[in-house]
Amino acid sequence: MKERYFWAALGLIAISWIVNSLYAHSKQLEEPIFLDHYMETTTDENDHNYVTFYYLANKNDQSHINYIRLGDAEGFPQGDYFFTGTTAPHAIDTYNHQELRSITVKLRSFSDNIEEQSFNEMEVFYSDGRSSTASIGEVIIHPKRYYWNEDTRALEQPSSGSSNDGSSWDTFRATEPSAIEKIDFPFNEPIEDRFNFTISGKQTEQPLDSLKLPIQLEKDKSVTLRVNFKEKSFVNPFEFAIRISGTTEQGKPFTNYAHYNLFPYLTQDDVNRIIEEKTGRDSGE
């Protein structure tokens, strides 16, 4: 009788192990999933030609990214903000079945393209021989020397700052009488709806195009652009410049840039939702 109970218990343990193994296997990704990025960069070695991508991979996935391709530009791993000395797989954060990883690549182009290019997908090549086309949100690659502005420097930038809660601020001071006529974002998708803006201490809850422009500035007068992220879920990496442009009293155009950066922070619920959106698979835990 005792022997029969022993074998029954052993059978239950085996069944439980099989069920758990099948469940864990069902939660594995067929290939890494990249977050939706909103970033801009260049291929100019004298400018900003590094970009960091974030992706979800299975915990047991030991492969790493050899290189990526965006149109006629390729990116090769250079380490990243978190682990600058290695390009091997490492986790920024760990979840039930996946890890959030990052890879920083240095871009180079094989053409002299003078037009900006916008990408929603990129080719990814892994160390184990796999390759895939990954959905990445929107990444803009500008021509060389894009941020080198030879316009009249009507505004100088004495101070700026940011916080990991998604807020940032940039102060601009007029070097001569000027008018700020336009403040805009670089992307096709209207992501400005995700932010609140404060200019010179006057709060608005309206989209960017509802701000009262132009803003007239006398010489040595300052204006501060404050940006606050509306959302409570930090699942999108941001790295871009808000354009502040206008005309001086002498009729000369100018453009300045308020740079915005935000790193992703994902909860397990965020991971489940991203997997479901990207694959169509229910990832409820």
The total number of residues written for the chain in this structure: 285
Q: Is residue 32 over pLDDT 70?
A: yes
Cα 271 vs. chain centroid, distance in angstroms? 16
CB 262 within 8 A of CB 235: no
Q: What is the pLDDT of residues 77-132, one digit of tens each?
A: 886 555 555 656 668 899 999 999 999 898 888 777 677 889 999 999 999 899 99
Q: Is residue 238 over pLDDT 90?
A: yes
Distance CA 113, CA 111 (A): 6
Q: How confident is the model at residue 25 (pLDDT cuts 50, 70, 90)?
A: very low
Residue 188 has what DSSP assignment? S
Model pLDDT, residue 50: 84
Please give the average per-residue pLDDT across 70-76, as a whole number.
90
Q: How confident is the model at residue 215 (pLDDT cuts 50, 70, 90)?
A: confident
Mean pLDDT of the chain: 82
Q: Is residue 190 over pLDDT 70?
A: yes
Which of 13-17, 106-110, 150-154, 223-227 is most confident? 223-227
Strands 37-42 and 238-248: parallel
Model pLDDT, residue 207: 62
Of 17 and 255, the structure prediction assigns the larger pLDDT to 255
Q: Kindly report the pTM of this predicted structure.
A: 0.83
Q: Which of 140, 238, 245, 147 is nearest to 191 (CA)?
A: 238
Distance CA 232, CA 188 (A): 23
